[in-house]
C-alpha cells in the first residue's frame, strides 16, 4: 500500500497537481462549511450573549460562562420535553427493533410459504397510503390522539429498514448455519435469538441509529397528534423558542438582560438537542460504516 502511494506520488504531473489542488480545495471548503456552524453554535453556547449579538464572537468562545445552560436546565418546559423525548426514543426504538426483526427474519427465509405476499403487504405501504387526514381520523377513532402511545405504536416498521435487515439476513447470515441449527432441534425463535441475531450486530447497530435518530428528531407526529404540553417532546419546544421566539415561561422578559439571555439561549438549546444523537452516531460509527455500505449496495 505504502509502496503504491509512493509510486503514485512520483507520477504526479503538473496537470495532476492542479487537479488535486482543486479537489482538496473543494473537500476542504465543504468540510469547513459543515464544521463552522457547529463550532460556532458550541462556542456561542458558552459565551456571554452580548458578545454574540455584537458579532464579536467569530469562532472561539468570548467571555466564557455556563449561565445559558443553567437557564435552560431550570426551564420547566425544556426539562419536560427532554424527559419525554428520551422516553419516546428509548421505548420507540426498542419497539421498532423488535417489530422489524419479527418482520425481517421470517420474510428472509425463502422456504416460508406466502413470503412474497406478506412482503408485498409491507412494501406497498411505501407507494401508497391513506394520507395525512385519514391517518389522523384513524388515530382519533383508536383513541390514540393525545396519548403518549401515539409516538411509539404507529410506524412500528420502517419499510426501508425492513428491507435493509431482510437483505442482511438473506445475504450475510449463511443459510447452512440456520438449517443446521434447525436440524439440531433448535426452534425457529431460538435460532433467531441465539444464532442469527448475534451474527447481525452491525446491522442492529445501524437500525438502532436510524430509529433512535428518527424518534429523537420527530416533530411532525407530535404536532399532529399531541395536545398537552406535559406530553410534548423537545422538538416542539425547540420550534417555539427557535422559530416562534416564544419565551416559554421565562420570567421577566422585558429587561435588556433577559433579552440577551434569550438570544444566547438558542445556542445552548441547540447543543443540548443535538449532542446526544451526534454522540450516538460517533459511538456506532464503526458498525455503522460497515452496515450502511451493505445496505447501500444490496438495498
For residues 240-269, which are near other proteins according to CB under 8 A? 242-243, 263, 266-267
DSSP string, 36-82: HHHHHHHHHHTS-HHHHHTT--SSS-SS---HHHHHHHT-HHHHHHH
One residue of 122, 170, 197, 250 binding other proteins per CB under 8 A:
122
The CA distance from 148 to 142, in Å, is 13
CB 252 within 8 A of CB 258: yes
Q: How far apart are the first and last CA of the chain?
A: 31
Can residue 283 be called a binding residue for other proteins (CB under 8 A)? no
Instruction: Residue 160: name the closest of 214, 198, 82, 113 by CA.
Output: 214
One residue of 61, 106, 172, 247 binding other proteins per CB under 8 A:
106
Can residue 38 be called a binding residue for other proteins (CB under 8 A)? yes
One residue of 66, 70, 171, 219 binding other proteins per CB under 8 A:
219
The CA distance from 273 to 82, in Å, is 8
One residue of 2, 3, 10, 131 binding other proteins per CB under 8 A:
131
One residue of 99, 145, 199, 250 binding other proteins per CB under 8 A:
99
User: How many chain residues interact with other proteins (CB under 8 A)?
Assistant: 93
Can residue 105 be called a binding residue for other proteins (CB under 8 A)? yes
CB 238 within 8 A of CB 252: no
The CA distance from 232 to 249, in Å, is 15
Residue 181 C-beta: closest distance to other proteins, Å: 13
Residue 185 C-beta: closest distance to other proteins, Å: 13
Instruction: Residue 160: name the closest of 127, 135, 117, 132 by CA.
Output: 127
- Binding residues among 39-78 for other proteins as defined by CB under 8 A: 40-41, 52-53, 55, 57-58
Q: Which of 73-81, 116-124, 164-172, 250-258 is the region at the interface with other proteins (rule: CB under 8 A)? A: 116-124
Residue 195 C-beta: closest distance to other proteins, Å: 14
Instruction: Residue 252: name the closest of 243, 239, 241, 261 by CA.
Output: 261
- Binding residues among 156-185 for other proteins as defined by CB under 8 A: 156-157
Amino acid at each position: 500500500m505504502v509502496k503504491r502511494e509512493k509510486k503514485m506520488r512520483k507520477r504526479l504531473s503538473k496537470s495532476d497537481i492542479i487537479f488535486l489542488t482543486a479537489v482538496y480545495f473543494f473537500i476542504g471548503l465543504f468540510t469547513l462549511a459543515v464544521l463552522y456552524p457547529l463550532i460556532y453554535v458550541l462556542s456561542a453556547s458558552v459565551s456571554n450573549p452580548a458578545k454574540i449579538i455584537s458579532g464579536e464572537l467569530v469562532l472561539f468562545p468570548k467571555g466564557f460562562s455556563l449561565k445559558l445552560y443553567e437557564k435552560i436546565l431550570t426551564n420547566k418546559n425544556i426539562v419536560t420535553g427532554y424527559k419525554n423525548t428520551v422516553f419516546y426514543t428509548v421505548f420507540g426504538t426498542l419497539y421498532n427493533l423488535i417489530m422489524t426483526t419479527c418482520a425481517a427474519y421470517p420474510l428472509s427465509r425463502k422456504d416460508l410459504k406466502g413470503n412474497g405476499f406478506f412482503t408485498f403487504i409491507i412494501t406497498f405501504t411505501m407507494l401508497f397510503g391513506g394520507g395525512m387526514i385519514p391517518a389522523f381520523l384513524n388515530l382519533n377513532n383508536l383513541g390514540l390522539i393525545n396519548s403518549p402511545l401515539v409516538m411509539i405504536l404507529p410506524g412500528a416498521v420502517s419499510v426501508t429498514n425492513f428491507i435493509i435487515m431482510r437483505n442482511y439476513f438473506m445475504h450475510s447470515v449463511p443459510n447452512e448455519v440456520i438449517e443446521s441449527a434447525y436440524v439440531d432441534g433448535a426452534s425457529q425463535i431460538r435460532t433467531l435469538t441465539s444464532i442469527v441475531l448475534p451474527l447481525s450486530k452491525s446491522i442492529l447497530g445501524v437500525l438502532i441509529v436510524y430509529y433512535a435518530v428518527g424518534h429523537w428528531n420527530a416533530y411532525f407526529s407530535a404536532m399532529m397528534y399531541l395536545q398537552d404540553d406535559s406530553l410534548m417532546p423537545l422538538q416542539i419546544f425547540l420550534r417555539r423558542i427557535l422559530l416562534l421566539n416564544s419565551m416559554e415561561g421565562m420570567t421577566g422578559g422585558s429587561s435588556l438582560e433577559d433579552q440577551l439571555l434569550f438570544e444566547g439561549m438558542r445556542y445552548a438549546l441547540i447543543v443540548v438537542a443535538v449532542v446526544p444523537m451526534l454522540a450516538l452516531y460517533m459511538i456506532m460509527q464503526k458498525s455503522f460504516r460497515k452496515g450502511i455500505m451493505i445496505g447501500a449496495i444490496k438495498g
